[in-house]
Structure 1
Amino acid sequence: MKQFRLHKVASVCLIAAMALIGCSSQGGEKAAPGTQPGASEGSGQQVTLSMHSWRVEDTEGYKAIIQAFEAENPNIKIDFKPFKATEYNTILNTALQSDSGPDILQLRPYAPGISLAEAGYLEPLDNIAGISAFPKDVLAAATGKDGKVYGVPLSLNSTQFFYNKKIFEQNGLKEPKSWDELIATAKTLKEKGIVPISFGAKEGWLLSLSHGVIAPASYSGSGYIDKLLKGESNLQSPEFLQSISRMQELIPYFPENYVGLELNDMRTLFATEKAAMFINGSFELEGLKKLNPDLQLDFFPMPTNDQKAVITTWVDGSYAVNAKSKHKPEALKFMEFMATKKFGELFANQFKRISAVPGVSTDDPLVNKMAELSQSSSTPYLMVVHFAEGKPTTKQALENALQGMYLGKLTPEQVAEEIQKSAATWFPPFKK
């Protein structure tokens, strides 16, 4: 797999936006993992590390990965404990604040994860073996202004339209190459009694993610993002407003009662072949195949206004070490393992996702297709990479406003106004 690259300007501006308070190793020392004071490695003493995640669906997959680590490190056991994604942040923050946090924790990408480093909860990982092999723009998802790395990147995510090839073929449909073709495809499916798009508005994060898929078609990739970062445009521009209007334009092609549907409902509707398309991330691939191994699955990138196609990408799910872990040397040992090609290959093949470890490929053609498009036709996930700050974050403001629109309380113009108002409170280019 070619080396993954996010948009260069995006990464630079992201790093510049991070105000990071570095937290050092205990006693100010930077010894290598396994040699720090208090290390129990080599003593024969059994150590169990707690490891928290928001990916409940990954439980089975991590068993094989953890077994591989424990086989090489028999004195270290990993207790993997995932939580519901929508509850994870609150549970983790409460635990960290009470000094009862896990030894190893999964970081939300970019600003939310870095905020934990700012609060002094994370151990710098600059000295672990293998971390320097990651490209800087990948490490940017967990790197502070001081240049310290606080997480080992896990995966390179993308968002796209999944579709059922059998349903498309049975109805004489092809992958749409423009917005008008997408709407025409949805109309044809609806006329034939098939739910065109499996979609739900109950969980806010799914709305910002869906917008992340659809929006780049309106501004044709990354050129518009450059203007935003320079303060030459804003979130009430014609391009951004069109992206919100298109979210509204898709309403007739959603399931009945879509405002009450959550991810499990959407996933099941598509996997059971009751819906033809499903807007979601690359991380859904494994789950869909497990639900229906016979599903004839494919995906298409978003067709843009300039007759091209774009796929939205970001670095997701870095893992970090609790600065107050009582077993820090052992936890750092696991971080070293996560930076190896062995881990990357296990991860990619277990979860059918693009590993962040350089040089890793899989035997899954869809994952490789995602990786190739991430190289040739990608744009950053705008709300995650650039607008995940503020109180509440601008990403959350978008989610709330879109929910309001789907409940018939806000127009697209009012949604764009709310988003711009949120960003203007903290986003430096908008405060000039």
Structure 2
Amino acid sequence: MKQFRFGYVASIVLAAVMVVTGCSSGGTETESGGGQGGGQQVTLSMHSWRVEDTEGYKAIIKAFEADNPNIKIDFKPFKATEYNTILNTALQSDSGPDILQLRPYAPGITLAEAGHLEPLDNVPGISTIPKDVLAAATGKDGKVYGVPLSLNSTQFYYNKKIFEQNGLQAPKSWDELIATAKTLKEKGIVPISFGAKEGWLLSLSHGVIAPASYSGTDYLDKLLKGESDLKSAEFLQSVQRMQELIPYFPENYVGLELNDMRTLFATEKAAMFINGSFELEGIKKLNPDLPLDFFPMPTNDGKQVLTTWVDGSYAVNAKSKHKKEALKFMEFMATKKFGELFANQFKRISAVPGVSTDDPLVNKMAELSQSSATPYLMVVNFAEGKPTTKQTLENALQGMYLGKLTPEQVVEEVQKSAATWFPPFKK
């Protein structure tokens, strides 16, 4: 794992408050004669933005509750696009969950700086997690505020059967990728399952495609030192390539969201799908027999690269009435037992060291994350600002796909955003 640098509040929030106050930071207590020694049984509220993980967490929570019979976990996920607003509203009104899923890097660190999170440095086992992984949930005060879940990667998934039937192989260059897409389109097959309705999917897709334009770390080093900027030829080319792919997207792609994209690919109506490692489980659930593989992004200099970052972590609400019990769950999260449960349940790379899975694609992602990784720039380095530079890129790319902005105007907007807060650009 390479070392990473890290750097809609809604006006109508009444519904959000009503949703979260039912399982507030106080949790609940009931008398319990069962379990080890009887005593009070505590129910901890645990919030997440991963609705699709609900069934998977049942197995993980069951394992924790078996070892901690006086602690119950009430797992409640929210729609990803609404989670931040619901969570922030709840925390500000002192009614947040006991345990909360924390966005990685700047968004999560901002909650720590606001005093909403409990430091976790003394949680047993947390010191075994590498510092560059913990960095995604480490505050500017040097304290750790979240136990990381996984190491994510983004890549092109592809249908091996469709490729073989049309004499195609995983592309080794940008030109080969375009030629592959052209061949598929001529055969009447949707080349790339893609949608522009949800902004975060645009920055995610850009995170896959962009590293091909700057080939390795030299450009990143210059960027982070202020020796280059986001109007550079390399970054402009990455946006131009996002535009170049438009002919190979589905019809009406601007109105498609993640569920549409996932279904289009899983039902074999599209040959490729740009997305993250966290989609692997969902794809396989929809179609367990899908002949699935992925390829890393081919770079301009003939290599390949996998965009990686540390995904969300779980944190403890500083105002929880049951910190001791919540911290017990944090301790569980830092164990190899949790890591193995998580990795195999969700088909993802665990943040806990020494964990492998029974899925060859996950292991392939893990290997490439070690040998051919590049950081997800907009998450790791440019997730600050108001709005964040990441959000600015998403909005600008949506504008480009609606025909309102040129690639040159997109990078101008992104650079303008970063220049308001990114220290190397303020020299």
Q: TM-score, normalised by structure 2?
A: 0.93
Tell me the equivalent position of 2:217. Answer: 222
Tell me the equivalent position of 2:205. Answer: 210
2:216 match: secondary structure: coil
1:4-403 aligned within 5 A: 5-6=1-2, 8=3, 10-11=4-5, 14=6, 17=7, 44-403=39-398
Post-superposition Cα deviations, 1:176-231, rounded to whole Å, max 9, x if no partner, equal 00000000000000000000000000000000000000000000122211111100
The percent identity for this pair of structures is 90
Which residue identity lines up with residue 356 of structure 2 in the other structure? Answer: S
CA distance in 2, matches of 1:327, 1:222: 44
**How far is the alpha carbon of 1:44 from its aligned partner?**
1.6
Structure 1 residue ranges without an equivalent (≥5): 18-39
Which residue identity lines up with residue 411 of structure 2 in the other structure? Answer: A
CA distance in 2, matches of 1:235, 1:416: 6
Tell me the equivalent position of 1:27. Answer: none
Structure 2 residue ranges without an equivalent (≥5): 8-31
2:314 match: secondary structure: strand
1:46 match: secondary structure: strand
1:89 match: secondary structure: helix
**How far is the alpha carbon of 1:42 from its aligned partner?**
6.0
CA distance in 1, matches of 2:302, 2:236: 20
CA RMSD in angstroms, aligned pairs only: 1.0
1:234 match: secondary structure: coil
CA contact (8 A) 1:222 1:380 kept: no
Tell me the equivalent position of 2:15. Answer: none
CA distance in 2, matches of 1:185, 1:137: 37
Which residue identity lines up with residue 270 of structure 1 in the other structure? Answer: F
2:40 match: secondary structure: coil
Which residue identity lines up with residue 218 of structure 1 in the other structure? Answer: S
CA distance in 2, matches of 1:206, 1:158: 14
Tell me the equivalent position of 1:25. Answer: none
**How far is the alpha carbon of 1:307 from its aligned partner?**
0.1
**How far is the alpha carbon of 1:74 from its aligned partner?**
0.1
Q: How many residues align?
A: 400
CA distance in 1, matches of 2:48, 2:42: 20
Q: TM-score, normalised by structure 1?
A: 0.92
**How far is the alpha carbon of 1:255 from its aligned partner?**
0.1
Larger relative contact order (Cα-Cα within 8 Å, sequence gap ≥ 6): 1
2:210 match: secondary structure: helix
**How far is the alpha carbon of 1:292 from its aligned partner?**
0.3
1:161 match: secondary structure: strand
